[in-house]
Amino acid sequence: MMIIKNVRILGGEPVDIRVADGVIAEIGPGLEGPETVDGGGAIALPGLVDLHTHLREPGREDAETVQTGTQSAARGGYTAVHAMANTSPVADTAGVVEQVWRLGREFAHCDVHPVGAVTVGLEGRQLAELGAMADSAARVRVFSDDGKCVDDAVLMRRALEYVKAFDGVVAQHAQEPRLTEGAQMNEGVVSGRLGLTGWPAVAEEAIIARDCLLAAHVGSRLHVCHVSTAGSVEIIRWAKSKGWNVTAEVTPHHLLLTDDLVEESPVGAYNPIYKVNPPLRTRADVEALRAALADGTIDVVATDHAPHPVEDKETEWSAAAMGMIGLETALSVVQEAMVETGLLDWAGIAQRMSVVPARIGRLSGQGQPLEAGAPANITLYDPSVRTEVDPSAYASKSRNTPYEGMTLPGRVVATFLRGRPTVLEGKLV
């Protein structure tokens, strides 16, 4: 039994939380017990849930492992992550998803839910064993070829039909491949000035529109990964207005950063730290994404934590790998983009970073409101500090953060996974 003293649930009045057997037993003022943790007036949120994490194991343990990736997640306030399927081997069989699931049970500092590939080897030619992955010990409910788009409309239709049998969802990385051949950054005035091959918004929007229509046609669930353009927001808003079963995510970096950083930034021009898929877009896109997250058109924030070793990032722009780490900065970036701007309060953050992602992933023991009887998955967060981002302290094996040197608000004070602290005073337990 443990008492977490002096916390403000969703930013409310200070209370104490009594935890017993991994569950919230009681919430109220003046609780006492033999073992206490001082919350120091921090905000208490239900443990964060990420729908989109690249843990890189098996295959690229030089970039990240289940252990380091989930340590990074815990430091960011997460109690569950969905591990993307683009590993080596690809997570396209019951055997591989069970391997990742077992690594999670053994080494993880948060729950690990493997995402299953939609197609064999992410090659877009034949459907993977979706049913076998759903029935496996990993009980996969989210399927994605993330990193690649399921661009064949017939395969996408079949996948959407297939997952209905077990209430699964297809999470699409929306990128029309022919329109983005050789693409290096957002197509616009900056790419024109820099002479880099552009990545047009329509390449994302065309796939999202098609997939919304397909999901409606077969009556299935579609989730749109990392929405990055204002036009995508309009399409999703339209699909939702029809009552179709479409959800969407936005990354923290697409809520804060813009494509002109490729031209001019504190770390110089053409710095591949800003190279990411989908690319950073324009200020108008950022404003549309923020408004969409605030009004619920975009359902959740997902990190797309994408670790890469130094040699894959610190190279010339065209050769550099795409992606950014994000687990340890997500809450701070979202505070900066959404709370400091008055667009969301802490209850809104809890919905979009815990409750709804758990619902989309069909996780029963995560994303529950902090009340008696709920699993004690709790994140304590102090929003009042502002500090310079220093990746040297990160638990991730990789350092490819675009925020280094920036000053961001907030700090994760503690994370509890079913009552067990994974982070205390900002440090891994």
113 binds Zn ion (CB under 5 A): no
Q: Least distance to Zn ion from the beta carbon of 294, Å?
A: 23
Q: Least distance to Zn ion from the beta carbon of 337, Å?
A: 20
Compare residues 150 and 262 and give the one whose CB is closer to Zn ion: 150
290-to-228, 233, 274, 284, 295 alpha-carbon distances in Å: 11, 10, 20, 10, 9
Compare residues 146 and 249 and give the one whose CB is closer to Zn ion: 146
Compare residues 16 and 299 and give the one whose CB is closer to Zn ion: 299
Catalytic residue among 304, 312, 345, 390: 304
Out of 18, 60, 141, 173, point to the residue binding Zn ion (CB under 5 A). 173
Residue 6: partners with Cβ closer than 8 Å, 6 or more residues away:
14, 15, 16, 38, 39, 40, 41
Compare residues 147 and 375 and give the one whose CB is closer to Zn ion: 147
Tokens for 12, please give them. Answer: 């409310």
Q: Least distance to Zn ion from the beta carbon of 26, Å?
A: 42
232 vs 249: CA distance, rounded Å: 11
* Maximum Cα interatomic distance, the chain, rounded to a whole number of Å: 65
Query: What's the residue count for the chain?
Result: 429
Q: Helix, strand, or coil here: 142?
A: strand
Q: Least distance to Zn ion from the beta carbon of 51, Å?
A: 11
Neighbour-count burial for 144-166, b at 16+ CB within 10 Å, e otherwise: bbbbbbbbeeebbbbbbebbeee
User: 3-state SS string over 236-287?
Assistant: HHHHHHCCCCEEEEECHHHHHCCHHHHCCCCCCCCCHHHCCCCCCCCHHHHH
Number of residues in contact with Zn ion, rule: CB under 5 A?
2
Q: Helix, strand, or coil here: 411?
A: strand
304 is catalytic: yes
- Closest by CA to 146, choosing from 281, 56, 280, is 56
Residue span 132-171 as binding mask against Zn ion, x where in contact by CB under 5 A, dash where not: --------------x-------------------------
Compare residues 57 and 146 and give the one whose CB is closer to Zn ion: 146
Residue span 178-197 as binding mask against Zn ion, x where in contact by CB under 5 A, dash where not: --------------------
Name the closest residue to Zn ion (Cβ): 173
Q: Least distance to Zn ion from the beta carbon of 251, Å?
A: 9
- Which residues sit opposite 257 in a β-bridge? none
Q: Least distance to Zn ion from the beta carbon of 8, Å?
A: 35
Compare residues 24 and 84 and give the one whose CB is closer to Zn ion: 84
Handedness of CA 252, 65, 166, 126 (dihedral sign): positive
Q: Which amino acid appears at position 246 of this protein?
A: V
Q: Which residues of the chain form contacts with Zn ion (CB under 5 A)?
A: 146, 173
Mind telling me the catalytic residues?
304
